Amino acid sequence: MDTLHFTPRHLTRPPTSGIDVTTKLRHFAIITYAIAPEKLLPHLHPRFEPDCITDKHGNRRALISVVPFLDVDFHFERLPWLTFTFGQTNYRAYVIDRETGERFVWFFGTCLDSWTNVVPRVLWRLPWHRGQIRFDCEYDQREGRYRRYEMRTKSAWAKASLTLADSGESPQTLAGFPTLESGLVVLTHPLRGYYYRRDGKLGSYHIWHDRLNLSVGSCENARFALLKSLDLVPFAEQNRPHSVLIQHETEFTIYLPPQAADK
């Protein structure tokens, strides 16, 4: 993998319009697993290939992440007074576009704890699924870390339970990447994602957020039913992720509507 850097493209917020969304993400975590690339390939559109690192044994490994958070003050730019709060968990992989060489994320789907789930499912055919998501967290502002981080999801699509420990320390390295910044660019700052729409077509959407101020965490307990059902990470290996990165709160912009991407 080449050495990567944050650029003005990553860190400059594009202009917004009335339909775009601004939201604060609280209890934001990225739990990443390194897996054999051949496990990921069947889930990807042929246009994409896994973005791989090399582990300490010299094996190529694809990367997938579970990203839970609580949306707070979710609102459309045109309707700032109409706000929503709900839990959300994204399931994603890191990929390279075979046509352009650009890096993106591939979404397996999203679990959303809100009746508004029906809007993106029906209107834009997004692979979003309903679930009951509950966070039980205690954040120590003085120490800059979580004293308790727990998340539970009841969902027919992606039942989950998660308990993290938070060191409060900034990451110094990310295994398999040539530099820490390279790893942060890949894992924390993908601004465009692709996915199979519910009608089977290729879809895409675009977000933006500033550079994150993360701490290093570890898994005390992780059980993600979707990773097992997709034959990506068995339960027995889910407590041993590649990395855990945590941020108490950050702001995201979501550019709407998502687009059909099939050529």
- The dihedral built from the CA positions of residue 183, 111, 96 and 50, taken in this order, carries a sign that is positive
- Helical spans, DSSP H, in 179-251: 180-188, 225-229
Per-residue b or e along 30-52, where b marks 16 or more CB atoms closer than 10 Å to that residue's CB: bbbbbbebeebeebbbebbebbb
| Long-range contacts from 185-189, C-beta under 8 angstroms, 24+ separation | 185/4, 185/5, 185/6, 185/10, 186/4, 186/51, 186/63, 186/94, 186/103, 187/30, 187/32, 187/63, 187/65, 187/94, 187/243, 187/245, 188/30, 188/212, 188/214, 188/245, 189/6, 189/10
Distance, in Å, from the CA atom of 27 to the CA atom of 145, rounded to the nearest integer, reads 11
Q: Which pLDDT value is given to residue 76? A: 74
Count of other CB atoms within 10 angstroms of residue 143: 10
Q: Which pLDDT value is given to residue 263? A: 52
How, if at all, do strands 60-76 and 84-97 pair? antiparallel
Q: Where are the domains of the chain?
A: 15-260
**pLDDT band, very low/low/confident/very high, at 31 (cuts 50, 70, 90):** very high
- The dihedral built from the CA positions of residue 163, 166, 170 and 174, taken in this order, carries a sign that is negative
**pLDDT band, very low/low/confident/very high, at 246 (cuts 50, 70, 90):** very high
Q: Which is more confidently placed, 84 or 150?
A: 150
User: Which residues, at least 6 apart from 237, have a Cβ–Cβ distance to it below 8 Å?
Assistant: 33
Summarised one tens digit per residue, pLDDT across range 114-160 is 876 667 787 889 999 999 999 999 999 999 999 999 999 999 999 99
Distance, in Å, from the CA atom of 66 to the CA atom of 68, rounded to the nearest integer, reads 7
Protein fold of 15-260: Acetoacetate decarboxylase-like (2.40.400)
In this prediction, residues 26-30 reach a mean pLDDT of 98
Extended strands (E) in the chain: 21-35, 48-50, 52-54, 60-76, 84-97, 103-112, 128-130, 132-140, 145-154, 160-166, 192-196, 202-209, 215-224, 243-260
Position 33, amino acid: Y
Which residue is it, tokens 């650009």?
Answer: 102
Stated pTM of the model: 0.96
Which residue is it, tokens 């727990």?
Answer: 150
How, if at all, do strands 128-130 and 103-112 pair? parallel
Output the six-digit token pair for 96.
């390279």
What does the DSSP assignment read for 136-153? Answer: EEEEETTTTEEEEEEEEE
